[in-house]
Amino acid sequence: MNKYKKIKYQLLAKEMVEILKDKGYVSYYAEDKEEAKKKVLNLIPEGASISVGGSETLGAMGMTEEFRSEKYKFFDRFKPMSYEELYEVYRQSLLSDYFVSSTNAITRNGELVNTDSSGNRVASMIIGPKKVIIVAGANKVVENLDEAFRRIEEIAPMNATRVHHKAPCTETGRCMHCESQSSVCNYTGIIRNGRKEKDRITIIMVAEELGF
């Protein structure tokens, strides 16, 4: 990474850690994805059950391989299975001890904004799993909710391609505001703060670009 962009991300990530703490979240700074990975693993005790959201960030960190360890009970959504079987994994995942994911956007006011295809990630962030751990690169930070929704539209074609949905945006490279059955933009959630369930949501801000 360009050293000047790195400095920008370091400053931004550190600033966001303080903002997020003020909003009631537990929040940590990580210099890079390796430090973030160590932090995630330190937060989860052996024997815990873990579920995850679909995430390029977690993929870049190699978290799936870690969670498949015999040390944990992993709700493995990535094994080959039918959609009906996958949906059952989503349902059972709501009872996990820990839910680990990234987020589509974080506003400078500390709001987490996410849009899902099936809704499992949005649902798990809000209620179900006992603890939620969000890992976010500084590239996910936006000024406000309008920019968050704009960002979600911009990354929609990449997300649709990632999950092999033949939505119109995969043909045009831009959000078509479609009503397609294959849309990945079906459920949207906004978490305004971390105060309702004390210490439930932990956010790790990483001083580099991670994920879309």
Domains, the chain, ranges and CATH?
3-113+125-141+192-206 (3.40.50.10420)
Length of the chain: 212
Tokens of 97: 């001890």
List the beta bridge partners of residue 74: 50
pLDDT in tens, 188-204: 999 999 999 999 999 99
Report the DSSP pairing between strands 112-116 and 187-191.
antiparallel
Mean pLDDT of 19-42: 98
Alpha-carbon span 109 to 104, nearest angstrom: 15
CA R_g for the chain? 16
Phi, psi of 82 (to 5 degrees): -75, 165
Q: What is the pLDDT of residues 109-162, one digit of tens each?
A: 999 999 999 999 999 999 999 999 999 999 999 999 999 999 999 999 999 999
Closest CA to 61 of 141, 138, 146, 137: 137
DSSP assignment, residue 173?
S
Q: Are 47 and 72 in contact (CB under 8 A)?
A: yes
Taking the model in full, what pTM does it have? Answer: 0.95
CA proximity to 49, closest of 28, 34, 68, 62: 68
Mean pLDDT across 88-98: 97
The rounded distance, in Å, linking the Cα atoms of 117 and 119 is 6
1 pLDDT higher than 90: no
Query: Which uninterrupted H or E stretch holds 142?
Result: strand 141-142
Give the single-character DSSP code of 71.
T
